[in-house]
Structure 1
Amino acid sequence: MSLTEKKKEKEENSPISPLKKRRASWSELWVNHHHSHSLGFTSKFQSLTPPITKSKTLLSLPDLTLLLPDLTLLTIITKVPSPHRKSLSLVCKRWLRLHGGLVRSVKVSDWEFLTSGRVVSRFPNLETVDLVSGCLVSSSSGVLVVSSYKSLSFFEERLLSVETVDRGLRVLAEGCSSLRKLVVVNASELGLLSVAEACTRLQELELHKCSDTVLLGVGGFENLQVLRLVGSVDGLYGNESLVSDIGLMILAQGCKRLVKLELVGCRGGFNGVKEIGECCQMLEELTVCDHKMEAGWLGGVGYCENLKTLKLVSCKNIDVEIGLGECLSCCSCPALERLQLEKCQVRDKNSVKALFQICEAAREVVFKDCWGLDDDIFSLAMSFRRVKVLYVEGCSLLTTSGLESVILQWHELEHLKVVSCKNVKDSEVSPLLSALFSDLVELQWRPDTRSHLFSSLIGAGIGGKGAKFFKKT
């Protein structure tokens, strides 16, 4: 035996030799036992599972939606709630195209998006287009997107030129023949005529910064039924953008199928309103907001024989005294069903009397936040004989006795709502008024925050006929 072999044997037999095997502990035996079982399970699982390669990923799986025709896929997309449909357009170009065909309404905030033709190519079936935000530009070459354009005092100074707006209208007209509603600002009669020629189905039009000349193009819309004209508005458009008697006459001759007409900041008169009443036989709703009307304009309303709703909103005056003689002698609107006054000054007794006489056939009367509606002015409402619905809100000068003196004369009254009228008191409700409450179909009574009429009615047994419909708001 060589010297090297003897040395190796000596080290193996040594008690401190690292080569000598040590007996395993119980903990080591337990760990080794379970480790061997887990390795066995893993090896069996790997043998049953084919290896995953780079070629078999989710991206390489076939698109099964390609087997579906467009009509079927469109049906599936329409089942998705509207707020979530936009994300579907990000799937692929086909889904982008199909989603675009479902969009019916857009608000354009980037004018270049319209003039480049991308609006009509992206959304070929548009029915409603709002261009007002897109017409507002910043001092630079970019387009300023605004969420509430009505609050900007520099609105008129930041508008696109008339020529630029007309070019956009021509692009829109060429690609959206199915257009039903259009909202635009600072357009000319030529731009509107280009839309009227191509979009023969257009039924609703809203024009901002409108003038008499612009209305020459409105007559081209043969099927127009709803029209909103915004003339002069403080902080937005100057006095040069007014609609006068001339414009109303032009409108009456060209739009004889009107059903709804709203005049905002317009300056018409008796002749213009009368012309609309005589020519637009289908007119059912007339709204006058913040008007600059000439004296006696109210008399023209009496010629709207089929008018069903008359709304006056934010009017500093209804009419001035001059010219009211002709108004008082004219016939009323026989078909009128609803008269609504909201945020109006009603201090002038003669103009209110004329208004009520014209609207004496009204079945529903609404006073909301009207200044000057005291007992004396409200007493003029006795001229209404067929009122079924009365709604009074925010009229602090009206008292309980003033309200009672009028509504007790209305024998057909069925619905009464009195809200935020601080001088109408529960303690002043008379037995006659309580008896009227019991016959109502609906009563909403909250003249102030301290009203406890509901509890007192229950205790007194009042509200027999209308108890089921009694509401306390």
Structure 2
Amino acid sequence: IQLSLSLSKNLFVLSMDSILCDELLQEIFRRLPPPSAASVSLVCKRWLHLLRSSTTSLSICFIETPLIPLFSSFLSFHPFLSTLSVTITHTLDSSDQLLNSVASSCPNLRHLRFLNGSVSTLSLFSLSVSCPNLVSLAVTLFRPLSFLWVTPFGCLKELSIYSAGNSGEFDYGEFYGSCELNLESLLLTGIKSGDKGVGFLWRNCKKVTTLKLISCEGVGDQGSFLTFLQCLEGLQELELRTCRTIADGVLLKLAENCAMLNSLLLYDGGSKDGLFHFLTQSKCPNLQNLDLRLPLDLENYHLTAAAENLGSLRSLRLQSCCLVTGEGLKILGNAMADGLEELALINCDVVERESGSHMVKIKEIHGSDILKESSYLD
């Protein structure tokens, strides 16, 4: 029976191979789940070639130093790649060579993540020439940071920068030229107060609507801060993760300059006073999403301020907020039950102390079907 089934399966595959044209087979391959790709590639050389030609997305992780010619040859078998992720798990001296291989072998790339292997400014200039259609780019850079290489990427909308240690490269210093960039989303990690080159981004990123800062001790040198403030005016989404030294200053200016903001995430940063000032003085009429992780810093009076001043709020997520009580949640619910659609309490002591009774009462009192009780609540 097994032999009969095997023969039938082989005959079916051979029949498909002879009947279906290349274009139809490629369309079928595109719709297959990723685990099936390995099996398809073993059927025959034709299917292997068509599978590679139909592949538009790859994710590669290097755990040891790769052979550059083999890597280039592998990429050349996938001429229609549009999305590529390359992760290096340890320090390699060949990061620039790997990036140059990507640039020369994948001219149709639109999305590229090249992480943990720091690359030079020169290799990024080469990438801009070979892959002019890149829409999103994530790379790791050595200090001193310079962003002059961003200018030739005319189609680039999303840029993510992960900073590493010092490379000993020439310090280009601050470049004061003007060249408006088309970036709409910007993520920066590990920025320090002495990083001169960041000011170039703040001055020329007039279209950024999403800004994410992670583990940043500053926003560049002293001259960069003023231009950074100008970037806040058009923001719609801001994330600050572990940016303790700058969180209060950003919140202060955010309350004054960010009328377009609709989403704010603040993790592990900001003082009680800084957060309270933002909640009471904020001129953000469109703020709908607020996500806070501030252990021991968030109290009931913060919730009262949010209820009184943030009438457009639709989603509130609180993580590890130990000083919030059921009474504070009740005040929030009384003020916002008709508008709030999501309330999530994650690792908050109030859930265990008060068994979520106030949350149940809020829904019963207002009869609102809009409020969605989080799975984190009792």
Q: What is the TM-score when the length of structure 2 is the normalising length?
A: 0.77
Contact 1:400–1:428 under 8 Å retained in 2: yes
Alignment of 1:381-420 (within 5 A): 381=278, 382-385=280-283, 386=285, 387-420=287-320
Does 2:45 match 1:115? no
Match of 1:246 in 2: 174
- Which stretch of the first structure deviates more once superposed, 223-232 or 277-286? 277-286
Does 2:92 match 1:159? yes
Does 2:106 match 1:176? yes
Match of 2:211 in 1: 286
Structure with more relative contact order (C-alpha pairs < 8 Å, separation 6 or more): 2
Instruction: Give 1:463's match in structure 2, choosing from 350, 366, 371.
Output: 366
**Deviation of residue 98 (structure 1)?**
0.9
Give the letter aligned to residue 452 of structure 1. Answer: S
In structure 2, the CA distance between the partners of 1:92 and 1:71, relative to structure 1 (3 Å rule), is same
Identity, in percent, stands at 21
Structure 2 unaligned segments of length 5 or more: list them. 1-6
Does 2:165 match 1:260? no
Match of 1:81 in 2: 33
Larger Rg: 1
Instruction: Give 1:69's match in structure 2, choosing from 1, 11, 21.
Output: 21
Q: Distance in 2 between matches of 1:309 and 1:245?
A: 30
**Deviation of residue 275 (structure 1)?**
4.5
Give deviations 1:27-83, integer Å, cap 9, x for gaps. Answer: xxxxxxxxxxxxxxxxxxxxxxxxxxxxx9998999331343211222333342232
Structure 1 unaligned segments of length 5 or more: list them. 1-55, 134-148, 150-154, 319-345
Q: SS state of the match for residue 244, structure 2?
A: coil
Q: SS state of the match for residue 206, structure 1?
A: strand
Match of 1:380 in 2: 277
Alignment of 1:70-219 (within 5 A): 70-104=22-56, 105-107=58-60, 109=62, 112=66, 114-116=68-70, 117-133=72-88, 149=89, 155=90, 158-160=91-93, 164-184=94-114, 185-212=117-144, 215-219=147-151
Q: Distance in 2 between matches of 1:226 and 1:123?
A: 24
Match of 1:440 in 2: 339
**Deviation of residue 89 (structure 1)?**
0.3
Q: SS state of the match for residue 142, structure 2?
A: coil
In structure 2, the CA distance between the partners of 1:435 and 1:242, relative to structure 1 (3 Å rule), is farther
Q: Distance in 1 between matches of 2:126 and 2:296?
A: 51
Q: Distance in 1 between matches of 2:195 and 2:9?
A: 73
Q: SS state of the match for residue 134, structure 2?
A: coil
Q: Distance in 2 between matches of 1:434 and 1:132?
A: 45
Q: Distance in 1 between matches of 2:98 and 2:126?
A: 11
Q: SS state of the match for residue 302, structure 1?
A: helix
When the two chains are superposed, the root-mean-square deviation of aligned CA atoms in Å is 3.6
In structure 2, the CA distance between the partners of 1:266 and 1:398, relative to structure 1 (3 Å rule), is closer
Contact 1:204–1:227 under 8 Å retained in 2: yes
**Deviation of residue 238 (structure 1)?**
4.0
Give the letter aligned to residue 279 of structure 1. Answer: N
